A and B are shown apart, each in its own frame.
Chain A
Amino acid sequence: MKMIITPGWLRNKIETAPDTEIEAGIPVMMLESIGMFLPRESAEEPAEDERLVRLKHAFGVFIRNLRLTRELPVEALAECAHIDATELYAIENDPHYVTKPRTVYQLANFFGINLKKMMELSGATQTYDESLEEEALKFAAKSDGVSSLNKEEHEILNEYVKFLNEH
């Protein structure tokens, strides 16, 4: 193969546009640990028990409230986080919806939430963490579902974010 790229070109790239994460293709083991690469069938069809539906409902409320604190319409958040607006709508409104791992990653990244906890909350990975479930259900119960958050809801949301990131 005739080389066109040169040592000087690479040196310039390193100095002007440093590489960050470059991984492409599957699977990369790092992400398996947070459930990004569960076998396809189990990722798409998790056993849907009542507990999981409740957890996913809490996840939907959580995402909706995070969105409202930023005063972002569904379409705007979808654009900012590079996800599909239809999927975001489903996450917020349908507790039976199976959120795709990539979407959870994008949302966790955008809102600065612990990815592993978000994966568990969304139902993308299984959790045996009872306190996560307990806190999620408490959080969802305290949200009234209207289109803006009151002061108390803001505080509850902030506490819950703190819980997820520090737990």
Chain B
Amino acid sequence: MKQLLGIFPLRNLHTGEYEDAELYMPIDGQNVEDFETRWRPLLDERKANLAPHETTASANIQDAHWKWREKTATRNNRMDYASFSVECGGTTQGLMFVRTIDFARESSQLNQFLIYVDLVSTAPWNRPGFTDNRLYSGVGPLLLGTAINFSIDQGFDGRIGLHSLPQSESWYRDQCRMTDLGPDANYPNNLCYFEMTAAQAHTYITT
């Protein structure tokens, strides 16, 4: 059963007001339902509009879709994974899966345990790259802060690692001040790997 970790404010960019959002662990069936019925249609629609001629490639791509329902069902029984959701305005605004048995790569904390953010994603209506009329601001910092909080809770001093999507690199590098360890040749599509040291994590959650 999911546990309420806390109530946090998200800024509704349409009204300018703050609204109470709930932070939960783990991701549950309702979150998956929200993804399938509210996020996915928007993502699919945008995809169709962006690439009308890429039908063959798109068909292949379908297999690569994140299988939220299946992953959630299997991972919720595992101790090497944890998951979190942010709910606000009656639906899921952000989702995150983390892994708990990974080792750090950055030289000052090499081989120490860290929390690896396996996947973090916000609802499409909250993404600047998706819409000019975003709904909520704050989901990203809340989920990243949660990953750091979880790392401290697990005795890992706030150390976290993740592979950033290209459009998010500057946020992790410049706003979150994570260490950029460059493109990872062993990760699909050579995404850039970022790591947060204990000191960087402390700065992030105290400022």
* Direct contact, A vs B (beta carbon within 8 Å): yes
Q: In this assembly, does B2 line the interface, its C-beta being within 8 Å of a C-beta of chain A?
A: no
Whether A23 touches B51, Cβ cut-off 8 Å, given contacts A5-B145, A126-B57, is no
**Do the beta carbons of A125 and B54 come within 8 Å of each other?**
yes
- The one of A24, A29, A35 that contacts B120, using a Cβ cutoff of 8 Å: A24
Q: Are A31 and B165 in contact, with the CB atoms below 8 A?
A: yes
Closest CB in chain B relative to A120 CB, distance in Å: 9
Query: How far apart sit A25 and B127, CA to CA, in the bound complex (Å)?
Result: 16
CA distance A17 to B76 in the complex (A): 33
CB–CB A33/B138 < 8 A: no
Query: Closest Cβ of chain A: how far from B97's Cβ, in Å?
Result: 7
Report the minimum CB–CB distance from B27 to chain A (whole Å).
14
Are A20 and B47 CB-contacts (below 8 A) given A38-B57, A100-B183, A105-B166? no
Give min CB distance, B178 to chain A, whole Å. 10
In the complex the two chains form, what is the Cα distance from A138 to B20 in whole Å?
Answer: 57
B53 close to A128 (CB less than 8 A): yes
> How far is it, in angstroms, between the C-alpha of A129 and the C-alpha of B6 when the chains are bound?
51
- Complex CA gap A5/B43 in Å reads 31
The answer to the question of A50 belonging to the interface, with a C-beta cut-off of 8 Å to chain B, is no
A25 to B57, Cβ gap below 8 A? no
Residues of A contacting B138 in the complex (Cβ-Cβ under 8 angstroms): 10, 13-14, 19
B50→A33 contact, CB < 8 A:
yes
Kindly state whether residue A116 has any CB partner on chain B within 8 Å: yes
Q: Mark contacts of B42-62 with chain A using CB atoms, 8 A cut-off: 1 yes-contact digit, 0 otherwise.
A: 011011001101101110110
A70 within 8 A of B: no
**Option from A14, A21, A32, A39 in Cβ contact (under 8 Å) with B137:** A14
For the complex, give the distance between the alpha carbons of A106 and B183 in Å.
12
Q: How many residues of A contact B (CB 8 A)?
A: 54
Given the contacts A10-B138, A31-B165, A1 and B150 also touching, CB distance less than 8 Å: yes
- Which residues of chain A are within 8 angstroms of B120 by Cβ–Cβ distance? 22-25
Chain A 37-78 interface mask (CB, 8 Å, partner B; 1/0): 111101100000000000000000000000000000000000
Complex CA distance for A118 and B168, rounded to whole angstroms: 19
A128 → B minimal CB distance (Å): 5
* Closest residue on chain A to residue B170 by CB atoms: A20
State whether A19 and B141 are in contact (beta carbons under 8 Å apart), knowing that A24-B163, A32-B47, A33-B46 are contacts in the complex.
Answer: yes
**Quick check: B140 and A22 within 8 Å, CB to CB?**
yes
Cβ-defined partner of B9 (8 Å) among A10, A84, A105, A125: A10
Pairwise interchain contact A21-B127, C-beta atoms closer than 8 A: yes
Q: A1-B153, A24-B120 are in contact. Are A102 and B145 (CB under 8 A)?
A: no
Q: Is A102 within 8 A of B189, CB to CB?
A: yes
The residue in chain A whose Cβ has the minimal distance to the Cβ of B7 is A7
Query: A23-B167, A100-B189 are known contacts; what are 4 more A-B pairs with Cβ within 8 Å?
Result: A5-B142, A20-B171, A22-B140, A40-B188
Enumerate chain A interface residues (CB-CB to B < 8 A): 1-5, 7, 9-14, 17-40, 42-43, 82-84, 100-103, 105-106, 109, 116, 125-129
24 A-B pairs in the complex with CB atoms less than 8 angstroms apart: A1-B149, A1-B153, A2-B153, A3-B149, A4-B149, A5-B6, A7-B7, A10-B145, A11-B9, A11-B18, A17-B175, A19-B138, A22-B120, A22-B140, A23-B164, A23-B165, A25-B118, A25-B163, A30-B43, A32-B64, A39-B63, A82-B169, A83-B183, A126-B54
- Could you list which residues of chain B lie within 8 angstroms of chain A, going by C-beta atoms? 3, 5-11, 18, 25, 40, 43-44, 46-47, 50-51, 53-54, 56-58, 60-61, 63-66, 97, 117-122, 124, 127-130, 137-146, 148-150, 152-153, 162-172, 175, 180, 182-183, 188-192, 205-207
